[in-house]
Amino acid sequence: METKGRVTKLSPSTPCGRPLRPDYGGNIFENTMRDGYEIIENRDETRSETTSPVQKTGHQLPKNEEICDKDGARNKALKVGRDSSCARNLFGSAKKLWNNLMKDCETEVLNLENELKEKATRIDDLTKSLHAKDEELQKLEVTFSHENLAIRDAGQKEVQRLNSYIEQRERASKDAELCANQLKAKCQKLESKLALIEQKTAQESLTSGSYSDDHANPGMLEVACKAVDKAIDDLVRVLYNISYLKTLPLDSVELEPILHLISPAHPTDFSRPIQVKYVWGHWILHQIFRDFENVFFDSDQWNRTSPLHSKKHALECFQSFQQKKSASSLEFLNSCGTFQSFFSWKYKCVFPTWLVDSSILPSGIVVNEYGHFVEGEIFYRFLDVAKAVWLLHELAFSFDPPASILRMARGEPYDKQFHDSVVHVDVEDGDAPSAKVAFMIRPAFRIRQSIVRSRVLLSTKLPQ
């Protein structure tokens, strides 16, 4: 039996047998409604198509064909009912989906609106903060500009003040330099006059039998002794700093035998370790002032006969002193053969081989491997000592009679007329034990009735 009208084929992919439209990506609700209407329309058309063939043609159909036609119509009606139910279900699902989508969209829109409001609020706050910062920076800029101007003005004033001060100092320096040159010229004139006066006075004093120095204050000899003291102190400081003595405490068992090698000192003579350095002064004194009383103060003195001291010899000694006192030590060494002999002899006496090779002094500081003197600090310090002692000897023999040398023995009671202590001892305190000479560092001198005091180390611990 042939069925007229539109027949819709069921698709296995949908529950209603209709394929989904290709524009499903559009409005799903409108697509679903349109599909439902088409299904209903198809159902009506099917009903119309199932009209009896007798009605259409006016002919009576056979009975069997009529039954078959009824069954087919019933099946089609059932199919159309199922399609209608499926469409209704699909329409309900689509409507629910649409409502859910609308709710989700509304929620999302609200969330976006809230987020935009929050961001707008933050932007407003940030804008206000930036405006406030900008105003603050503008105020600071104004303040900084004022301060900068004030600093610049103050700096300019200070520069002007400094320039003025520098100009004043330059003028003062020029004035001082001019004044110094004038004073130097005056000093040179005075020195020339003084030299002439000293020479004239020396000649007159030798003729009259009295020296130019006052008997109560033999000034020139005292000044010469001060020069010897300074030179010895400089050499003592160098020797002490490099010697083994500096490392030994006063209670060391090694100190006493070393002291006995170069002095009569005992560890109990010292109140502080630094005072041990003066034993070097005693050792230098003991060696360099040996035979000071002899007019020939050099290494060849044993082969000479000392002349009788006369006024002529005294004048020659004084003139030699005047000529050589202004020369440097090195110039004096290179220009005077007699002083060269004296220097070499005394250098070997102060630094003998046994002392150089001992553990007291570092080895190799005095002579090199060829036996020549090493021109180091010790060499030049000792050269100053030798020159000062040589000039003192010349000046001592410029007196008529010559100045007498006074040597102080260990244990002598302190006498302020003869002793000048290198270390302070309160000898005026009546309750303190009496101070005595521990050892001598520089001898005393007598010129007629005047005394140049000796340099000694006093101690209150020597036995009575």
DSSP codes, 35-68? HHHHHHHHHHHHHHHTS-HHHHH--PPPHHHHHH
pLDDT tens for 289-298 read: 988 888 877 6
Q: What average pLDDT does the structure give for the chain?
A: 76
**Mean pLDDT score, 347-359:** 82
The answer as to whether 356 is a domain residue is yes
pLDDT band at 139 (very low <50, low <70, confident <90, very high): confident
Which carries the bigger pLDDT value, residue 61 or residue 377? Answer: 377
Distance CA 30, CA 48 (A): 28
Chain center to CA of 320: 54
Assigned domain for 432 exists: yes
Classify residue 164: in a domain, yes or no.
no
Confidence of residue 456 (pLDDT cuts 50, 70, 90): very high
Higher pLDDT residue, 300 or 462? 462
The pLDDT of 421-439, averaged and rounded, is: 68
Cα–Cα nearest to 317, from 341, 344, 297, 346: 297
Q: Which residue has the higher pLDDT, 363 or 144?
A: 144
CA distance 301 to 324: 21
- Mean pLDDT of the 1-17 span: 43
Is the confidence at residue 10, as pLDDT, over 60? no
Does the pLDDT of residue 25 top 70, yes or no?
no
What's the sign of the alpha-carbon dihedral 209, 212, 218, 221?
negative
The count of domains in the chain is 1
pTM for this entry: 0.52
In angstroms, rounded to a whole number, what is the distance separating the alpha carbons of residues 156 and 151?
Answer: 8
**pLDDT tens figures, 82-103:** 888 888 888 888 889 999 999 9
Asked if residue 419 is part of any domain, the answer here is yes
Considering the domain boundaries, does residue 426 fall inside one? yes
pLDDT digit string, tens, across residues 220-270: 888 899 999 999 999 999 888 888 788 888 877 778 888 888 888 888 878
Residue 161, pLDDT > 50, answer yes
Rounded to an integer, what distance in angstroms lies between the CA atom of residue 427 and that of residue 419?
A: 12
Spatial separation of the C-alpha atoms in residues 131 and 278, rounded to whole Å: 83
Does some domain include residue 389?
A: yes
**262 belongs to a structural domain:** yes
| Domain range for 391 | 217-459
The residue with greater pLDDT, 2 or 174, is: 174
In a domain, 165, yes or no: no
